[in-house]
Structure formats: C-alpha cells, structure tokens
Amino acid sequence: MKAVAPGAWLGLLGGGQLGRMFTMAAQSMGYKVVVVDPGDHSPAGSVADDHLRADYLDATALDELARRCAAVTTEFENVPAEALRRLAQHCVVSPAADSVAVAQDRIREKRFLAGVGLATAPFAVIESEADADAVDARLLPGILKRARFGYDGKGQMRVASADEVRAAFWALGAEACVLEQRLDLELEVSCVVARGFDGEVRTFPVAENAHSAGILDVSIVPARVAEELAHRARDATVRVAEALDYRGVLCVEYFVVRGGELIANEIAPRPHNSGHYTIDGCITSQFEQQARVMCSLPLGDTAPHGPSVMVNLLGDLWAAGEPDWTHVLCHPRAKLHLYGKDVARVGRKMGHFTVLDDDQERAVTTARAIRAKLDADAAAELESQSS
Ligand code: ATP
Ligand code: MG
C-alpha cells in the first residue's frame, strides 16, 4: 500500500483523550486531523484541525470524512461497526470493523481468545434468568459482566450465589452477560502491539497495572515480572493481532495468577491507558504508531528510554478545585498530561503524569510522592472550604 505523506488529512471517530493524544502525535508529524464527535467541546475536537459535530452514524459527516481523508481511525471501541464499514468503501480504515466487533462483545472475545490458544478466566454465558439459575457453582464467587458496552469496571457486579447472579443479571439490564470466576490475581499486566498493513508487528514493553475501584490507577514499566513471563505476554499479544488480521494498535490485558500463569482478560482495539507511558517513555509512542499504521509507514522502534511509571489523574482530585500542578511540574523527571476536559467528575480520567528514571524503584517512589502531595493538597483544600 502506498504511504500517505504528511500534509494529508486523517480522520478520527471519537473525541476523547485517546483521540486527543493521537491527534497531537499525528499533527506533530505534519498530518491534519479531522474529528467526528457529537459534543461541542471534546478533548480531541479542541486540538484537531477540524471538528465535525455529528453522531458517529451521521451519513453526511461520514461522507465528508471519506471525501477528505486518506485514512480513518477510531479512538474508542464502541464505535458503531457500520460507520467503519461505510468508510472502508472509500478510504483506509484502521482497525477494520470485523476486528473491532470481536472486542465489542465479551462472549465473542472470550471464544476468540480461547480459539487462539490463550487461557481465559473460566466463564459461562448468562443470557436469561434460566441461565442464571443453572449456574455452575464452581464459577462462584464470580463477576457478572455485561457482554457489551462496559468500561472502567462499569457494567459488572460481584456475585457469590445463584440468587446474586439472578439479581445482578436484572440489575445490569437483563442483557447478555458473561459470568467469570473471580481469580486470585498476583498481578495485572498488559501489552500494546501495532501491526501494519504489510503485516509488520511490534510490541511495546509490558506494563504492570494497578487498578483502584475498577479503574486503572498506575502502570509500572517494565512490569516487575520474570523476563520469560513478559516474553509470553508479548508473544500472546502478537498472536491476537495476527489471528484478527489486525491493522492498527491494540492492547491485551492479562491477569497473572499463582504460578505465573497468564490469563487473557480483554482486548482493547485501540491505544490503551496502560500504554500512555509510551509518549514519554519510548522512542515511538503508541499514538505515533497508530498514525504510522494508518499511513502505511514503517513502524517505529518501541524500545523504552528506561523505566517509567504512569499515574492516572481522576476527577476526584478536583473536588476542591484545580489541583496545584507545581507538585508535578517542579519535578524534572515528571511529565504532566492534561486532557482539557471542562468538567471534572469522580472517576473521570482528566489527565496523567509519567515519571522517568533509570532506577525503577526511585521512579515508583517519586510517582507515589507526587501523587501523595496532590491527594494531601486536595484533602486540605476541601477541609478548609468546608470549615
Ligand atoms: P477497562 O475498560 O478499564 O479495562 P472493564 O470494564 O473492561 O475495564 P475488566 O477489565 O473486565 O473491566 O475488569 C476490570 C478490573 O476488575 C480488572 O482489571 C481486574 O482488576 C478486575 N477483574 C475483572 N475480572 C476479574 C476476574 N475474573 N477475577 C479477578 N479480578 C477481575
Ligand atoms: Mg479491563
């Protein structure tokens, strides 16, 4: 496929922070980016060269995108597959609708992962009250997850008995769900991979992820696991990309359970929060890599500059107003990224910072210290406002 040269327009469906970071990476390479997002003010829309305020299935907007752009991508996995299919008739679309569809449905996703030989958490499909009643007790305690439209731990409930499975099934809207056995996790890791139109594949270093309340909190890179386990995760991630005949950037999340067994949790068909460290921490970021795939350029080197620690900044930190960013900015090895969202809500991803240090333990300590200062300040400010 012929490379798309800088200066061309690239299209993006979705206006969130992933889209913003993609837009910035593509622009710095000389591309122009047009975003389709229904919101008036969106993180990506506010930095893009153009913003079409329209729904993702709006025919006029999609036709405009197809006419103007050499290639189109998406930044969130719930983008309607029809939109991607429609665009694919006119321009390069990365990733393709069919690969996105696998990741949009936990049932298909789990079957696909098992099909490529990756272990998944033991699970059952729950599509009716009868399924809930007939649940295999060996899957309990478990987690009932809606098959579609879940993110950041939303759309899932912990369950310990058949009665609770039934109640959770109704509470989640009586839609198709998977019941997963709750595993005893030693660690969570993830791996971002890019695969080009010529089949070239490159993985990024494996990240070790800590979650809080179902939302990614901190990523430590390289993951503090045996080299052999990191290799297995990278190999498994390549297998996923190849089996999907994927063109673009994707991330696979894994659980590490006792004995170092790797359990594939889910596929995100896009750059991922656990890959944000690549912006400052690697020769090529996951977002530049996404632009490279779309434009049929050779993939960039994914080698890390050294260890890095990425810390998410959630809206909770804004409870008493804008945080004091000097705590991050005064540190010469910390990089602040704010997404330009106008409203901070609890649990909303507002930004992140990354600490880079040749000494991994020091990077972890520094990141924790910066975060503790931000938290303490916010708590003190809240206290003083309420007194
Ligand atoms: P995200 O989009 O942020 O990745 P999600 O809503 O898709 O989240 P999952 O990745 O399925 O949800 O689960 C969120 C977190 O809940 C996991 O990272 C893990 O910490 C925990 N979790 C999920 N499934 C299991 C399980 N079977 N056993 C133990 N812990 C689990
Ligand atoms: Mg997840």
- Which DSSP string corresponds to 208-224? EEEEETTEEEEEEES-S
In this prediction the pTM is 0.97
265 Cβ closer than 6 Å to some ligand 1 atom: yes
| Pair 165, 192: CB distance under 8 Å | no
Instruction: Classify domain 185-386 at the CATH superfamily level.
Output: ATP-grasp fold, B domain (3.30.470.20)
Name the phi and psi angles at 298, rounded to 5. Answer: -60, 150
pLDDT digits (tens, 9 = 90+) for 104-137: 999 999 999 999 999 999 999 999 999 999 999 9
Identity of residue 246: Y
- Over residues 174-218, the pLDDT tens digits come to 999 999 999 999 999 999 999 999 999 999 999 999 999 989 999
- Alpha-carbon distance 159 to 142, whole Å? 5
Ligand 2 centre to CA of 12 (Å) is 23
pLDDT at residue 46 tops 90: yes
pLDDT at 281: 98
Residue 36 falls in which region: left (phi positive, over 0), alpha (psi -120 to 50) or beta: beta
Q: What is the pLDDT of residue 134?
A: 94
CA distance 289 to 329: 27
Architecture of domain 122-181: 2-Layer Sandwich (3.30)
Residue nearest to atom 3 of ligand 1 (CA): 152
Contacts 24+ apart (CB under 8 A), 211-215: 211/153, 213/153, 213/347, 214/152, 214/153, 214/154, 214/156, 215/152, 215/153, 215/312, 215/314, 215/347, 215/349
Top CATH class of 9-93 equals alpha beta
Strand partners, 59: none
Indicate where the chain has its CATH 3.40.50.20 domain(s).
9-93
Q: What stretch(es) of the chain map to CATH 3.30.470.20?
A: 185-386
Best probe residue, ligand 1, of 265, 266, 312 (max atoms within 8 Å of C-beta): 265
Is the Cβ atom of 122 under 6 angstroms away from ligand 1?
A: no
86 Cα: distance to centroid of ligand 1 (angstroms)? 32
Residue 153 has pLDDT above 80, yes or no: no
> Is 90 exceeded by the pLDDT of residue 149?
no
Over residues 344-386, the pLDDT tens digits come to 999 999 999 999 999 999 999 999 999 999 999 999 999 999 8
Unique residue bearing structure tokens 């594939």: 264
**Percentage of the residues of the chain whose pLDDT score is greater than 70:** 100
Residue-wise pLDDT tens digits, 154-168: 899 999 999 999 999
